[in-house]
Amino acid sequence: MLERTKNKYTEARVYNSRMAFAPRPRFDWKLRTRTLALGERTLVMAIVNLTPDSFSGDGQATTAGLAAAIAAIDGGADIVDLGAESTRPGSQPLTPDQEQLRLLPVLEGLLRERPKAIVSVDTYHAATAQKAIRAGAEIINDVSGLLWDEQMPSAVAFGGCGLVLMHTRGRPQDWRSLPALGGEEVVPLVLEGLRERIAVAQTAGIARASIVVDPGFGFGKMGQENFALLAGLQQLGELGYPVLAGVSRKSFLGEAVRRVQPEGLPIAEARRTATIAANVAAVLNGAHILRVHEVQAAREAAAVADAVKASDKWRVISGK
């Protein structure tokens, strides 16, 4: 009887160690003028949309956009991500000039008001990236993974800034017509695509230490495919780069909770709790950075997830 009890205890310890949450290696992310430590705690990147047609209805003009960016910094965001072109499904692209008219005044105003702010610019246009870097942006967040503008790799390399390298599958106008993916296909597809884009970045001379990868939730992945990606997020650790997760207010979260909600809620409210849950799942599965609309909610969710990961690490090491 005693031996059987010991065996069950040993089996339980082995099972528990296998159930440990994804490890999160530490990195020093090299930006244009400074370095960010990644992995000790989850960093929060605040989304500031300068678009009139944002999918979640939070697009803002210059004055309001600047106020939102300042509020994000003052509210504890580690990074502010300014975007002036919508990438919702079916959206129409802007010219670089149109994008810059929306973006640059806010970027310049933010750095004038908060000189120490770390600013990321969400663009796939090399011309916009070049002007943003000259204006003080530390990071370029390219949703195309250097794919939609052949000049972008050299622009980022020359600018010496940080790069968020996202995986996307097709362009926004194509997403609704893409063939469905099986759950087992999603993560291998993302891994393969990111490896290809990393190779392009390295060939262009972008420093390895400057790159963070983003699996691109919602970017050519529909519905349940995104949950397969979230569940398998820890596999991105194979790439050897820090991971950013941008699940905030995405449509797949809305689809998952719609049947348990009252009708008629605006998107921001309808997807708020689901976003918090998905952010926690992303951190437990290895994300270093969360890209979010609501800074305070994300900071609190990350604090809890970080505490769970810290305790989980102790449990596995101690065998308890």
Instruction: State the number of CA atoms in the 13 A half-sphere of 74 facing the CB.
Output: 9
CA distance 248 to 4: 48
Cα 59 to Cα 63, 81, 85, 237, distances in angstroms: 12, 13, 10, 33
Q: Quick one: CA torsion of 143, 145, 149, 153, rounded to 10 degrees?
A: 130
Q: Quick one: CA torsion of 268, 271, 274, 278, rounded to 10 degrees?
A: -70
Burial of 92 (0-12, 13-18, 19+ CB in 10 A): exposed
Question: How many C-beta atoms surround the C-beta of residue 250 within 10 A?
Answer: 20
Are β-strands 79-83 and 119-122 bridged in parallel, bridged antiparallel, or unpaired? Answer: parallel
Any alpha helices (H) in the chain, and if so which ranges? 2-18, 62-74, 96-113, 126-135, 152-159, 183-204, 224-231, 251-257, 267-270, 272-284, 295-318
Residue 295 · residue 72 · CB < 8 Å: yes
Q: What is the DSSP letter of 166?
A: E
CA distance 153 to 226: 27
Residues serving a catalytic function are 250, 291
Residue 274 · residue 257 · CB < 8 Å: yes
CA distance 236 to 242: 9
